[in-house]
Amino acid sequence: MPKVTEEHTEARRRQILSAALTCFAREGFHRATMQDIFREAELSPGAVYSYFKGKDELIAAIAAEVVRFALGLFETLSRPGPEGRLHTPGEGFAMLVRAFRDIDLSTWAHRTRLGPQLLAEAQRNPALRGRVREGLGRGVGIFAELARAAQERGELDPQLDPEHVARLMLAGFHGLLIQVSLLGDVVDVDAYVKTVAALLDSRAATRQTTPA
């Protein structure tokens, strides 16, 4: 019985977070109201307030979910894959986008709109800025590790700075969110990911197709 109660509690919590994310994506953090969130969640004010005291707590909880997702992915990327090697930078980029598309909060379209808003909100909110910096810092670290491993395998130009390769990968991800949030289906996400991954791993592809 306690297990059922815990599952129900977590499901209700995520229901509220999904509703809040949807409202924030539509209206922005400051224009969206708690009343909007009650309606979107189809819950009474009391039900929502029993989980979150207000918008600031909801924003913080959504940011924590995004960072938790990112740190979980980075942990996966830090371990060798089935072939006994670290993923290539292109593979890592594709995994980042795929994982963000699969988060079970609201919709992909709403999450793309929220991403830039979180970065902007972090400029005025010290606590949120700390969470975002944590996620970005870990991202730069792990993607730089993938870049160094690719250089050691001869799959990436050794003259490139691994840290800046990592920042370029994150810039490609954030750029995708901005474009999808503004242009919607005009952006072919799968083609975008394939192109970025191919550019990042072009030297590896050349090595694989060049006769010994």
pLDDT in tens, 29-75: 989 999 999 999 999 999 999 999 999 999 999 988 988 888 899 99
Tell whether the model's pLDDT for residue 82 goes beyond 90.
no
Report which residue type is found at 149: A
CA distances from 27 to 21, 34, 45, 60, 162 (A): 10, 12, 19, 17, 38
Burial class (CB in 10 A: 0-12, 13-18, 19+), 119: middle
What is the predicted pLDDT for the residue at 32?
96
Distances, alpha carbon 144 to alpha carbons 39, 45, 50, 128, 207, in Å? 44, 45, 42, 24, 21
Q: Please tell me the pTM assigned to this model.
A: 0.87
Give yes or no for residue 112 having a pLDDT over 70. yes
The confidence band for 207, taking pLDDT boundaries of 50, 70 and 90, is: low
Nearest Cα neighbor of 154 from 81, 85, 80 is 85
The full set of domain ranges for the chain reads 60-209
CATH of domain 60-209: 1.10.357.10
